[in-house]
Amino acid sequence: MNETLTGRTLDGRYRVDALIGRGGMADIYRGIDVMLDRAVAIKVLTDRDDGERDRFLREARSMARLNHRNIVAVYDAGRSLGWSYIVMELIDGKTLGSRAAHEMTVHTAIRQYIEILDALAYAHENGVIHRDIKPANVMVLPNGAVKVMDFGLARRTSDMSTSTTAGEIVGTIAYLPPERFLGKPADTRGDLYSVGVMLFETFTGSLPFKSETDDLVAVIFGHVNDPAPAPRSINRNVPVEIETIILTLLEKEPERRYQTAYAVAAALRALLGDATPAPAEPGPPPKPPQPAPPFVERRATPRPVGREKSRPASERIEADAREMLAQTFGRTKNVDRGYRETLAGMLATRKRDYPEATRAYRAALEAFTDGNHVLETAKTSLKFATMIVQKNAEAENQGGRMDTRELAAAVDVLTDALPSFRGRSMMKELEEGERLLYALQRTLIRTR
């Protein structure tokens, strides 16, 4: 814990006054630059891991090269008293995700997203991809302006490899683009997908891909495989033009999305009939979508009244994602492989490629077991057993023979999994597991 830093001075210049925010890897303090007599925010890394120090330094370098009215400014970075720190512009405001629905109108939301996109366009032009765009990383000032912050996962575009492993998936799962889960090349269009998720949430009060049981793999599966629901199917007040923009941003293939942040900002400006010229886009401009006619300002509720009820679910997803990813994706290769193989198993099951699904689930179970991740082992056991039941039911319906060894293996893994669900009061998973186990046992008796 870093409370001991309060009242101390880093490098003889930055006085730490009060803790104002806490994250998984760093704490934020209000402080004073005693040399310039200026209030500042001081971000102090709490994790001593060398990899996290490198990522922290990368954040400072990425942000220091950006000078834009909608990006939190970085003044300095260093190491003092055994702590790595970044000195930043002190922002007085709220995160975008904490804004109350009554504070928003359609016009307000659109103008704020234009500023977010202007910030991203500038960053992309300067070779920086944010890679962790989400409401918690956008601050709304009292005057309504926004500031994008926390480039902690930012990468120089020149450093992006064509093979991103699952261990590098360290953003918040709810907002990540499909290509991040599939090991495909990641570029600036990934940030645009994340903006699409944010727009969807702002205008519907819900995330496009979520799991009522907080199953992270199911959320990943949705991003990779399921089409995004139409925003107007959730909130009829969403303008048709906004829905079109959101669904374009949420395309699975990056080539089918808007290609630049400038293009998205231009589409939003067209909706407002905004005569303010947009920043000039470098290079040949992409072919823009057909501009929609301006619509009249109206007091619509971008997020419905029921948002407060839905917020805990999305907050749990974010909190669980932070905790689990901090503990697993970046640090445990076995668990890292488990998530990747579980996703492969789900995709193969959907395609009825049962040999691949069996291989993937067995590999996932082995990886989670080696990583001592009991809950994920249990969840994957449930998915594996479900797949085995589906496979053998189809074989029987087609006049084939059921595989008793596979059925017995499914019984074994389910028997081991049920105590984990029971001990955590996960009643839905427990009920489903017990039902499957009963069906498997009866099938085995019948086939022997």
Per-residue pLDDT of the chain (448 residues; tens, 9 = 90+): 445 688 899 999 999 999 888 766 778 899 999 999 999 999 888 766 566 677 777 777 777 878 899 999 889 888 888 888 889 999 888 888 887 666 678 899 999 999 999 999 999 998 888 888 999 899 999 998 999 988 755 555 554 443 344 434 444 788 989 988 876 777 899 999 999 999 999 999 899 998 776 677 788 888 988 899 999 999 998 999 999 999 999 999 999 999 999 999 999 999 988 655 555 555 444 444 444 444 334 333 444 433 444 445 545 544 444 454 444 344 456 666 787 788 888 888 888 899 999 999 999 899 888 878 888 889 899 999 999 888 888 888 888 778 888 888 889 988 998 998 888 888 888 888 888 888 888 888 777 6
Distance CA 52, CA 58 (A): 10
**pLDDT for the residue numbered 323:** 52
Residue 358: half-sphere exposure toward Cβ, Cα within 13 Å: 14
pTM above 0.75, yes or no: no
Q: For the sheet with 94-95, list strands across it.
A: 94-95, 138-140, 146-148
CA distances (Å), origin 431, targets 160, 346, 392, 434: 44, 21, 21, 5
Three-state DSSP state, 183: coil
How many C-beta neighbours within 10 Å does residue 48 have?
A: 10
**pLDDT for the residue numbered 240:** 93
| DSSP per-residue letters across 51-111 | HHHHHHHHHHHHHHT---TTB--EEEEEEETTEEEEEEE---SEEGGG--GGG--HHHHHH
User: Residue 82, by phi and psi: left (phi above 0), alpha (psi -120 to 50) or beta?
Assistant: left
Alpha carbon 103 to its chain centroid, in Å, reads: 25
Task: Summarize pLDDT for 325-352 with one digit per residue, the tens.
Answer: 444 344 456 666 787 788 888 888 888 8
Cβ 135 vs Cβ 196: under 8 Å: no
Closest CA to 186 of 210, 201, 169: 169
Cβ 182 vs Cβ 168: under 8 Å: no
Cβ 153 vs Cβ 131: under 8 Å: yes
**pLDDT for the residue numbered 166:** 41
The catalytic position among 118, 132, 215, 336 is 132
Report DSSP state, residue 329: I
Cβ 223 vs Cβ 325: under 8 Å: no
Closest CA to 194 of 261, 141, 243: 261
- For the chain, domains (ranges, CATH) are 3-89 (3.30.200.20), 94-314 (1.10.510.10), 332-447 (1.25.40)
Distance CA 398, CA 383 (A): 23
**pLDDT for the residue numbered 162:** 39
23: which residues sit within 8 A by CB, 6+ positions away? 322
Task: Summarize pLDDT for 362-372 with one digit per residue, the tens.
Answer: 998 998 888 78
Residues in the chain, total: 448
**pLDDT for the residue numbered 285:** 41
| DSSP per-residue letters across 46-63 | ----HHHHHHHHHHHHHH
Is 215 noted as a catalytic residue in this protein?
A: no
